[in-house]
Amino acid sequence: MKERTDAPTGKPPGIDQIDRLTGILRPPSFSAAVLLVPFVSILILIMLIFLLSENPARTLFFFFLGPFRNLYSFGNMLNSSIPLIFGALGITIAMKAGCLNLGGEGQIYSGAFTATAAAIALSPLGIAAGIIACLAGALAAGAMSALCGIFKARWNTNELITTFLFSSAAIHVINYLVSGPFQDPESSLQSTGKIAAGLRLPLILAPSNLSAAVFIAVFAAAAMHVFLARTKTGYELRMAGINLLFARYGGINTKLNTVLAMFFSGALYGLAGVFTVFGTHFATVKDFYVGMGWNGLAAALIAGFSPVGVIPAAVFFAWINAGARAAMQNSDITFEVALLVQAVIFFLSTSAVIRNIFSGKKPW
């Protein structure tokens, strides 16, 4: 008899072999599409400036170089990227598990308020109060997101709707608390009282607002990369997101992973609010969260949902916003130019046409 050449070797297939056999790996050409998005966005930005500005040379100078003029501007730009990194990580882990968390802004607000209230109440404990407050903020936001994950796992409820509705409800409740029972009567802003000076993160690049939270953000991105790429739970999350039926047949508890992914997603969003309080405002300022959730989503889209890639993507997005503000203050364009660029980023990042061009398929 002819000997079979395709007989099993007795060795269980490894993770890479399973990925190849099931055809579930992302095409490598996708990274080229991701790199194209910032390039095209900048080209469109330049075109808009030439169309809208009477002095495009001056506007271009302040838009592109304004955030780098001094340590104050550069540090503030980097500081504004910190909540975007955490937000992008939050949406990334949800997407890796096949979920989508649209409640980022409410979760950021909830994490910030919970951490502020805990830090003020526990201030006699010293540094321990800060640690407990950070954990409380992350847990509060994570629990709100995990509840939506439970709804999806138990009743297949659409998490896009539940996360958005929960977020909207939480925002109204926290607005009432910040401008009512917890408002600081000595502040000119609608905000809570400030946390103790000993609990605030040290500032770097003075006189900017950049704090040591930037190092925590970088560590969080690296830790998520290791978690998703090197751990059993991370592999199960990715399998559930890429091919739910395959994951179930492989014995993965997809319902549990849905809840875990949503919890981690909300917790990371919550940390965006926590470190905004501990590193920048030192209090929960009413409506400070506006734009952070959606900008974090945009940064994740630019990064192609790569945990490490969200760092340059968040900095790029922060640079766009900082450049728009610098140009608005020193030239004749408005901040809405940045909003147009953000819309272009969303469009290009989600465009199937762009991906098909780089994957060798027909674009239409």
DSSP string spanning 42-93? HHHHHHHHHHH-SSHHHHHHHHHHGGGSSHHHHHHHHHHHHHHHHHHHHHHH
Whether residue 18 has pLDDT greater than 70:
no
Q: What is the pLDDT of residues 161-184, one digit of tens each?
A: 999 999 999 999 999 999 989 998
Predicted local distance difference test score (pLDDT) of residue 33: 55
Residue 218, pLDDT score:
95
88 has a pLDDT exceeding 90: yes
Q: Which of 293, 297, 310, 286 is nearest to 104 (CA)?
A: 293
Distance CA 135, CA 142 (A): 10
Chain centroid offset of residue 13 CA: 34
d(C-alpha 217, C-alpha 188), whole Å: 30
Instruction: List the one residue out of 217, 183, 243, 239 whose CA is nearest residue 83.
Output: 217
**pLDDT band with cut points at 50, 70 and 90 for residue 342:** confident
Per-residue pLDDT at 27: 35
* Whole-angstrom distance, CA of residue 211 vs CA of residue 200: 9
What's the pLDDT score for residue 35? Answer: 67
Residue 4: pLDDT band (50, 70, 90) is: very low
Residue 138 confidence (pLDDT) above 90: yes
pTM: 0.85
Report the share of the chain in percent with pLDDT over 70.
Answer: 86
pLDDT digits (tens, 9 = 90+) for 239-288: 888 888 888 888 888 899 999 999 999 999 999 999 999 999 999 999 89
Residue 343: the pLDDT is 76
